[in-house]
Structure 1
Amino acid sequence: MSRDSDGWLEPLENKASSSGVADAITSCLSVREFFRVELGLMFLSEYAPGQPAIVLLRKLLDGYALPGAGTETVVRNVRRRMGPTARGGQWRLRLNDYCKVPAHLRLFELDEDAVTRVVHGSVFRRRGSSKLPEREQAYHNAMSLPVAYKLEKTHDPAPPGTPVRFKRADGSTARLRLPDWLPEARPERRLEPKEYRTRAAFPQLTEDDFRQAAKEMDQCLSASERYRTENFTGRVERMVFARTDREAGCLTDGLGIFAIDGVAQVVGLMNSGKTTFNDILVKICTDRGLRVGYLVSSVGNALEKVRFFRALGIDAIPLIGHRNRPAHMARYWDDLLYVPEHGQLPPLPDGHDEVAEFTTDICLLRAVP
């Protein structure tokens, strides 16, 4: 179930169309982009007035900086409702397009000393407009109200024993009869957005915590043919930690007490142990009851991480796009069974594969008469 991130735009679009304002806007940018840009500028004018629009918005929405205490909900709402408009390259382009809209339609303008084109340090200020006066309240609502979930059309669950039909991706229609022994499906429950979120406190960790977790990981992997030689204990011993001292403006030796409050950056040279650090961090967090999302660069890497974490006893699953699932699965098996030029045919996987259940596009309904 997805968020209705564009629902707040529909009343404004209808009003702009009925009043004739939309015609003057669309010669420069779409009406939706116009309102999204003004939402971002309204957010900056309320929480970071006088600051460069291009530089600061992305930092705030990505969580690298907070405009003040208790503003996490506002930042999240703005990020969701601005969508792709807030991305770095798009934001600069849309701001320049926004400045081409007739001045009497815009709520914001560049500072007097600024050039006519938006540059890295450009600052916007509020000027007001008599057109569409209700949009200011719409922007404040968009910042303060949580983004609701979409009301998607659904069918009631078919009872067991019922003949049903459905349309395949290729346009053909399949018919089958649901077995009588199937349990009756429960109706889908609508999700409601939360007014606020309470994040579980992140544990404060030391180097000793990482060493102990590394030993436990080696013990868990000792019986694994694939991972028993990983030697996480040795990797941690070879790591050289340094942490940022904000007051002194320099690095201090040692990990100290590591905790995450918003965003933490783990940086280092190649083979310095960044991935090992993150893997151990996942083990510590899951052992302490936290849920962890791990973003990797490809489907193959996601499946490999699932296999690794399951070997540690962590109930990991891959979240893979469903539209290109056959292509993802084919790429996974191509990598697994890759034969280099003049190389030997690799052995077929034997034994239990933790990710096999996620690497098939076989539909079990095909076997149902």
Structure 2
Amino acid sequence: MRPLVEPGPELTDAQRERYSRHLLLPEVGETGQRRLLASRVLVVGAGGLGSPALLYLAAAGVGTIGVVDDDVVETSNLQRQVLHGSTDVGRAKVDSAADAVARLDPAITVVRHHERLTRDSAPRVVAGYDLVLDGSDTFETRYLVNDVLVAAGTPWVWGAVLRFDGHVSVFDPAGPTYRDLFPTAPPPGSVPSCGEAGVLGGVCAAVASVMVTEAVKLITGAGRPLLGRVLVHDALAMTWRELPLRPDPRRTGPEDLPTVTAAELLAAPGPVVVDVREPDERAAGAVPGSVHVPLAQVLADPSGLPPGPVVLHCARGSRSAQALRAVLSTGRTDVVHLEGGFAAWRAAGGPVG
């Protein structure tokens, strides 16, 4: 896959020292570390999987980390949720998580979403993130995350644990998704929860470490991601098996959206270009003459764009597709989005302001 995130500013001397072991890796290097620092990753759940994942994302230098969880820390969590300590019992998990990340690296921005994901709230919560790590522990939330991210065009890393077993995969709206792996939820009560069946803490760490490794690979473009593959971990036998996963041809994919390529836009300038990225992304480089309307603002008021024709763009095309769906729902027909986003614009030799 193409890297999810464009590189941010040049590294400082302090950052080169902190991330020196990453800089030694040819597959990451300085450019990859700048991508990590510019990235925005949302973690669903600050529990058994979210706890180690949040720490390793922060340690890797993911610049902005969102955490969504409506729960509080309980004593029974501490056996596996290593983000939290005894003094955090009774605190909101998002607050405990933010403090833990700050102790590790105060330069990392943590966005706290102290709420439960619902059909109404999820599109707002996921907006603006490049990647999502789903460590939720209910089928309801997993299917919700799947459906919202397919609609938003955002890739995600999924993990699940129970007893001594774990599963990990990478999903993308254009490829296999969670509904290809599990088309329908099991009957209520047929699958026990961790609270009913138990889970070994080390299994959470093993699965979460794979999830973070996949996140780093997706952000930097290193290696081969787990797209179309599911890893199955059996800690008792200490084995990892790989299962192939293909999109179900009966599944309805995301609708076709009108696009323009970077080459077409360069050859025929004239449309108003609207940048839906975040301010820090735009500060690192922008299409000259483009108008800045962040995604959250477009979603809040899809009818508020300049008169057309309009070309929407983000970093890679996922957020602009989400914005485009909202705008098209108002009845406008003179709006498209830039295929491949700002990354494609730069690759095509487009000027950068």
TM-score range, shorter chain: under 0.3
Larger radius of gyration: 1
TM-score (normalizing by structure 2): 0.27
